[in-house]
Structure 1
Amino acid sequence: MSERYDVVVFGGGPAGSPAAIQAARLGARTLLVEKNGALGGTTTVAGVALPGLFHAWGRQIIAGVGWEMVSRTAALTGQELPDFTRWDLPHYKLQVPVQPAVLAAVIDETIMDSGADLLLHTMVGAAEQTDSGWRLTLCGKEGLHTVEAAMVVDATGDADVVALAGLPRRANRARQPGTIMVRLGGYDPDALDYDLLDAEYEQAVAGGRLLPGDLQRFTAPMRKFLRSRGENSIHVPGVGAGTSAEKTSAEIAGRRTFLRVYRFLRGLPGLDGLTVERWATETGVRETYTIEGLERITVADYTGGRLWPDALSYSFYPVDVHSSDGDGIDIRPLAHGVVPTVPRSAMIPQHSHGLMVAGRSVAGDQEANSAYRVQASCMAMGQAAGATTALAAHLGVAPVDVPLQKIRAALRAHGAIVPDVAGEDETALSTQPEPGSSKERP
């Protein structure tokens, strides 16, 4: 393993793994550093095994490295892909279910085949900008050691490297809640008396055995919760992930919330055989910090489908703000035909050199961030960051100074779908018929 790299990527989740793979495939000496024992982040360790969205209005707008691994996983497990031409369906029906264990192994294989070095169970302890790039302290089981890099990609989800380098981060006053992912079994959803169960729920909240936000809704939540077998339904308000202390609190809060819900359910008619079919070892955290970027994506930029001059990837997902107290979700689908883009300038921290951010910490307001933070968008951002930093290391320039046409050409050569500022991609994307028109899909 080298002590000097062209590109070091921190975080092996949906953004970081594609970043490292893309940088290595472009010939950069690359190291991927991940704190957990498996790659995949939110998709694998936090159990949100529904990557999306890769398509908009019936057309694929995100491909490349992330799609390659997701589609390979689906093929290996025999998972049938959604009918992506059915853009009229709710967004969650167009996500791609994957088996987390298989996806984690596929990411391992793809990383190793790319030629990148990999360190699991390792975190960043210090990050110092130098005249030649970066001096990075890694925290491994064996202790501390230092590597140097020309370029760094911070894909930690919390902008950890940004903070350690002394660069600013933003946090919203009211953060969205986390979610503890479980899947329940041992009962027949069609045999339950939901009127009775809703009455029991109201009594449990009134008596303090449940908190109002535990099942996301104040009124009659039991049918939705039990028919979905509890998946993606247990909110954990007030959690953060910016420090190890915050992460500890988040994990304890997540499991405490789950246990409160489990104890409540086990005492109800029809649920005496309740089992837990699977659970995530980490409480999923929706937001922590965003960077102070050269540009900042606003909700108007996102919902208006702004085509940034330096756009490197698309994003497509509804605005999806979960209430900070955990009791509901504000979902705002995009207007027909709108396909937002993510600019390079929102991925570069102010006052930095040789540093890019990919994933949910990219600069944006809370509403825009609630949409572009999802897995497919992060995969596209990660691949863009990997290509940009690899080219920057090769050319000996800052990421902001790499010619955009070189980045876009490299991304397209590796399967990515890249916004075309001249309008070619936008014209193609706008050819889908309006809802209700004579050309609409039957």
Structure 2
Amino acid sequence: MSFEQTYDVAVLGGGPAGIAAAISAARSGAKTILVERYGFLGGMSTLALVYPWMTFHTATGQQVIRGIAQEIVDRLQQVNASPGHLRDTVGFVHTLTPYDPERYKLLAFEMLEEAGVELLLHSVLTDARMEKGWIQAVTVRSRSSPLTIRAKAFVDATGDGELAYLAGAPWEFGNERSKVQPMTMKFRMKGVQLEAVKRYMQQHPQEFYEKSLIDQLDELPLTGVSGFFSLWKQADLPLPRDGVLFFTGPGPDEVLVNVSRVSGLDPLKAEDLSKAEIEGRKQVFMLESFFRQWIPGFEHAYVSQVGTQIGIRETRRIIGEYVLNGEDVLSGARFPDCIARSGYPIDIHNPEGKGITANFIREGGAYDIPYRSIVPKDVDNLLLAGRCISTTHEAQATTRLTPSCMAIGEAAGAAAAITAQNHTAARDINIQQLQQRLIASGAELGI
């Protein structure tokens, strides 16, 4: 590869949103490159062990996310790397989708290659070259030397809105006190006796989240557990949580633990992120001891994997042509420029203390994500994908979930291809053309 390359579409960031965006752009006929800083793809799903995927469905069981996201699930099922969509026995959402992260990494490579996407790993975005509101080129630093990437359209799937920030787009951060949701170091434990967990749940139903499907555990596979409230209280660990949360799999004696919490730090500051990584790993092994001592079925369990990095829920939110808000989500708002839908509730982990604020969509429905929320202000040829799209703090607590990010990414990639092909600003593309392209690929827009 020479020191300068030209494409129709450049996607920055190889997480679930970036993968879907690059595949979508390439399938739309655009010469596409995907740039990722790690040596593998998957973003928070593989880096931080965000598992399982939640959710492709509404609370009433209607599937509202399909397209490339569903294609990924289907292909994982074909190689026995996912059982598909299962009922969430926590009861927080209707379904969750377990998957094997190592197989997902490989599948992403395969699907990008099939689509004709050029892939550049081990490369970090460092600069954006602007001219009258248009990104002319970006600079990435690889392990050898800086590379200039020119493109007609760009997709920011960095998670942190790095490209939009470098391009001068306006942005917001956190709640009204500029505090973001806490970070979590997720980890897996093996050697878990899940039958013992299930028996304890059936004998002590009051110890678990009120919506847990405990009365259905003889018919349903145990997929998730939220509770052990009194045992957690007795153990008195120095963590601002009210109980235990874990999800089963992908192995038969394996769980993914989502309990650690690192609050009060800024994930955009290297010094704060460094502190979070250290504190998160300390919490992992404190929690291993807790589980072995206190939780039935974990007596002989052990930590088998810790995230490559700490999980980040929230950083920059780029301000777009429309800012999706909490009332839009809860009312199940419909928009004429809908490019994706989601049935996930507002799920805010308290930035400054204990607990989670959960608000559910009315009548168990879904809300639209409008195209205007993936079009940033002040930058003409940039689309947003993933957790950095234009929302409020409240709405971001649902759009940040992986299936939603996949659906948003697919739309952003298709829109970037249209932007490049028509030599027009992203805000000016024909929305009906974009929607028709998404529907043709299997997306559920409800129109």
With the length of structure 1 as denominator, give the TM-score of the two structures.
Answer: 0.84
Change (3 A) 1:243 1:353: farther
Structure 1 match to 2:32: 30
Structure 2 match to 1:358: 385
Identity within the alignment, %? 32
1:185 Cα offset (Å): 3.5
CA contact (8 A) 2:385 2:409 kept: yes
CA contact (8 A) 1:9 1:33 kept: yes
265-274 or 26-35: which moved more?
Answer: 265-274
* 2:251 pairs with 1:231: no
CA contact (8 A) 1:240 1:285 kept: no
1:29 Cα offset (Å): 1.1
1:166 Cα offset (Å): 2.4
* 2:119 pairs with 1:118: yes
Structure 1 match to 2:128: 127
Structure 2 match to 1:103: 104
1:290 Cα offset (Å): 0.3
> Residue 278 of structure 2 is aligned with which of 242, 252, 255?
252
Residues 255-305 of structure 1, C-alpha deviations (whole Å, 9 max, x = no match): 122233335556669867441133221211111110111110110111111
> Residue 70 of structure 1 is aligned with which of 69, 73, 79?
73
Structure 2 match to 1:432: none
Aligned partner of 2:283: which letter?
T
> Residue 54 of structure 1 is aligned with which of 48, 52, 56?
56
Cα distance between partner residues in 1 of 2:272 and 2:110: 32
Flag structure 2 segments of 5+ consecutive residues without an equivalent: 208-227, 249-253
CA contact (8 A) 1:322 1:330 kept: yes
SS at match of 1:258: helix
Aligned partner of 2:329: which letter?
Y
Q: How does 1:423-434 map to 2 (within 5 A)?
A: none
Q: How does 1:317-396 map to 2 (within 5 A)?
A: 317-325=344-352, 327-396=354-423
Aligned partner of 2:395: which letter?
A
1:95 Cα offset (Å): 1.1
Residues 412-431 of structure 1, C-alpha deviations (whole Å, 9 max, x = no match): 222222342xxxxxxxxxxx
Change (3 A) 1:164 1:94: same
* 2:205 pairs with 1:178: no
Change (3 A) 1:185 1:80: closer
* Alignment size in residue pairs: 407
CA contact (8 A) 1:313 1:419 kept: no
CA contact (8 A) 1:181 1:233 kept: yes
* 2:317 pairs with 1:310: no
CA RMSD of aligned residues (A): 2.9
Residues 154-203 of structure 1, C-alpha deviations (whole Å, 9 max, x = no match): 011110111112222211122111221112244657399999x9888657
Change (3 A) 1:404 1:183: same
Structure 1 match to 2:167: 165
Change (3 A) 1:249 1:6: farther
Residues 298-336 of structure 1, C-alpha deviations (whole Å, 9 max, x = no match): 101111111122211112201101111452111222122
CA contact (8 A) 2:239 2:260 kept: no
Change (3 A) 1:211 1:389: same
CA contact (8 A) 2:88 2:94 kept: no
Aligned partner of 2:268: which letter?
G
Cα distance between partner residues in 1 of 2:157 and 2:285: 31
Residues 384-441 of structure 1, C-alpha deviations (whole Å, 9 max, x = no match): 0100110110000011111111111211222222342xxxxxxxxxxxxxxxxxxxxx
SS at match of 2:79: helix
Cα distance between partner residues in 2 of 1:401 and 1:411: 17
